[in-house]
Structure 1
């Protein structure tokens, strides 16, 4: 691991509306830079820098000396501090939305753009407290992008051409992925293959490209949520990865009786729950050991789903409702998109399938082979894991590769523990059912199952999208240390706020620490026991 000389960066900001920041930086790995706090005017200002980036990714503290209570004031603040972020607030930043939360804090969410075209992953957020004072500025922006393009940006290939290139690059045709989905009791049909292409500016290594960001979602011949970047000028594939969120954990069908919310139509009862305060429904289907999604509805003639073949269906349906209720009652979140979206599950996927996953549209569960796994759909922590992937997708949008991908996995594991509560293990009830005490992962002791628990053990690999299921052990350990110190009811509030307010697509472990500290400061104060516990947890795993 290469070390670099510690540097001191002095940022003189104009007009006295933001405090000057001095940061001394040192690295703890090739891709993680940690900055030490500097005290100004009696307040701590913390600044995070990522190696190779010209703009800080997270600044937290008392950043303004006057209130900013609307988007025009926020843009004026950014103009006055152009020296720091090197962007024109009017031309380079597009305001996506403004949200005020239950604490009275307001969050201004921007995306960086070049000639009106969004820079992929370049989310930029400005946060004020209830008094309008700016407390956090975070996200990833790339001012150097503007020097890469001369003249007007114009795609040389059409959207349809980009999609064709994307399909060819994964060696699957769209026709090979399409199935005939059954309509539900409401008459609606589910689209099982989804394709999309949006024009973006894409950063790869140190270069920028005008590209189509294409997404290809399908279930056969294998589960996929492909993200493929196609050069919009010459049609070359710049990058690609399969972003299917793989939980690999769960509990078996244990024979316990559960109440179900069902739907009666034409004398048949469906696992179709319309009782929640949502626009959509909670529905459960079966693939009947095929790979066709979403499959047929799980039904019963007498509303007593007690057949052995129905047990996976019952658990998937019941636990989806439990997870919905958790997010609604604990965090006031209405389904994974906070707009009441339908929560769809399909069980009995394929034969002896040892997995469960969120594919960008729904949850899918295999029955296991009886040796490696029991049926995976029965686990509360599995369902929580999958639906948390959906929440993450709709909020922080953590890219499913390298450190951001490991955070994505860790957050799903952590919310699985928040809901399951009985221990810090993942998958212990279904993994290797003939071997007592075994599990897939442990938040309290990641090393038991081959995961690192400290940055000095970080695994540099290109496998598994950069080790998302391996290096998640580091933030998992930090989560365990936080929960064990503060308890679930406090920790879950901090984690939810960090996920939905402060994390962004390219957040790394250092950003996660800052996001959680900012959330703890919002909820309990920067001098609180809760704040100190979060800081200590991340320090103990080497993210200082």
Structure 2
């Protein structure tokens, strides 16, 4: 299941997109009265000024420049200013940070992972050598290598690197677009990041029964396009696939908009091609509503813009993916043995949430940050299922249970109460967690979220039996799913950055719990206990 960082084509930027750090100090609030909450522009200026005095703390230095990409303001005027950085004009990958300030501009700290300031911008290894190191079997380069400062490795040390893009196809037929960072001093491959991520009127759906749909009238027909949710629509891929050759996509599978004469869509069976389109559209509708009504976030990037779905992708394609380059979710019909069509509610929510992660913390899809990326989508998918309150697909802590067929040999793709039940996922953190596939390293955060929500031990929820252990033998009493989800979302959007690992996630969620409920709250102490219960201490 999937994700990736988009360009800023839908990101709401400040009026002055590029602001360089200059000397200056924040002005104190007038004595005796509450400070006036800053505007986003003012908060950005204050944050940039503060960096000039906090260089050592944020690993600043000569040759660096900062660019504000988003400002979030709390109700009390506290600001959280997210920035990227460059060194000698080169992007510092993993150098992004969030500056936290009070309404008056007082420094409240920063979130980031960069270990030290970059100090080199002269490559020793030529670009052609980097290309050869990046290319693997059945892959082609796209474009020319670009110099970057790579700091998303486990030690978060900045290293000058060549970033090489290669394209091809993943083993199951999913399109592939990999960015490889090659050390410009040694020629060593530092990181490979797959940027196409996998998963997995009214309409009669395959999984959720008869559901309401908002559609668009067009002449004598109706289009499966929702004008109330950013014109999000669902199209038929016609069983075609994206085809890329020598770095250029010469064909992208279509998204032919579904239309209907009477505004009653699908038959509840796969014999009608619009049935799974109903599932996909309903899934994105519920996910849109969840983010809007729970967090006040309108659309994936928070700007009101919709995305689109492609169903019937490929032939017997048993997966689904989010792709930033098309700002869309894509679903296969399954192989008929292990998986049915990959259009269930939680799969749709999972894929759409990859977009939200990409638009906020932009967690690198590799190592522990990749596990946190995947877990975020699983966590939000579970929350959306409970939010939708659909009697045909009740809320649970299982991933992909509706799309799984008997041939898979288990009841779901993943199990949040005890992730190891899938045979691969980690129940708790260890020094080897970073080496797991991101779909399996995600188990640590999934388990944390379940324990934080529901607690340890045996229980039955919505007819599903769970029995969640702890790695340290402790007993956890959950704080409830709503509080747990709010804490995770705030940690993601306010404190996590591209290289956040599990240790950083613990800090981020504790910060979030402090913001939402207070440092002395039950919620705060349970966050700490739940991380300890999965060996993140």
**Partner Cα distance (1:427, 1:408) in 2:** 17
* 1:311 aligned partner: 275
Structure 1 counterpart of 2:177, from 200, 225, 233: 225
Which of the numbers 464, 479, 482 marks the counterpart of 1:489? 482
In 2, Cα distance between equivalents of 1:121 and 1:172: 26
Counterparts of 1:512 and 1:284, CA distance in 2: 35
Of 88, 100, 103, which residue of structure 2 is paired with 1:127?
A: 100
Query: Map of 1:21-60 to 2, 5 A cutoff?
Result: none
Give the Cα separation in 2 of the matches to 1:258 and 1:294: 25
- Determine if the alignment matches structure 1 residue 296 to structure 2 residue 256: yes
Match of 1:137 in 2: 110
Please give the root-mean-square deviation of Cα atoms over the aligned residues, in Å.
Answer: 3.6
Larger displacement relative to structure 2 (199-208 or 114-123):
199-208
State the distance in 1 between where 2:331 and 2:303 align. Answer: 25
Alpha-carbon distance in structure 2 between the residues aligned to 1:441 and 1:383: 15
Question: By how many angstroms is 1:165 displaced?
Answer: 8.1
Q: 1:232 to 1:473 in 2, by over 3 A?
A: closer
1:452 aligns to 2:426 (yes or no): yes
- Contact 1:163/1:214 (<8 A) preserved: no
Alignment match, 1:376: 342
Which whole-Å CA distance do the structure 1 matches of 2:130 and 2:206 have between them? 41
Tell me what 1:94 maps to. Answer: 66
- Tell me how far 1:482 sits from its aligned partner: 1.2
Contact 2:138 2:168 in 1 (8 A): no
- TM normalised by structure 2 equals 0.73
SS in 2 for 1:348: strand
Residue in 2 aligned with 1:425?
A: 398
2: CA distance between counterparts of 1:114 and 1:170? Answer: 33
Query: 2:161–2:181: 8 Å Cα contact kept in structure 1?
Result: no
Q: In 1, Cα distance between the equivalents of 2:193 and 2:385?
A: 31
Corresponding residue pairs, total:
444
Structure 2 residue runs of 5 or longer lacking an equivalent are 1-25, 30-34, 243-252, 387-394, 455-477
> Structure 1 residues 154 and 119, CA, compared in 2 at 3 Å: closer, same or farther?
farther
CA distance in 2, matches of 1:460, 1:91: 32
1:118 corresponds in structure 2 to 91
SS of the residue corresponding to residue 453 of structure 2 reads helix
- Runs of 5+ in structure 1 lacking a partner? 1-63, 175-193
**Counterpart Cα distance in 1 of 2:291 and 2:281:** 16
Displacement of 1:486: 1.6
Is the aligned partner of 1:467 residue 2:437?
yes
* 1:239–1:456 Cα change, 3 Å: closer
Match of 1:261, SS state, is coil
Aligned to 2:118, the other structure's residue is in SS state helix
TM-score by length of structure 1 reads 0.72
Q: Map of 1:13-412 to 2, 5 A cutoff? A: 70=43, 73-75=46-48, 77-88=50-61, 91-97=63-69, 99-103=71-75, 104-130=77-103, 132-146=105-119, 148-149=120-121, 171-172=138-139, 200-203=148-151, 208-212=159-163, 214=165, 222-229=174-181, 239-248=191-200, 253-254=206-207, 256-276=209-229, 278=230, 281-292=231-242, 293-307=253-267, 308=269, 309=272, 310-360=274-324, 361-377=327-343, 379-412=344-377
- TM-aligned CA deviation for residue 271 of structure 1: 1.1
| Secondary structure, aligned partner of 1:454 | coil
- C-alpha separation in 2, matches of 1:270 and 1:163: 48
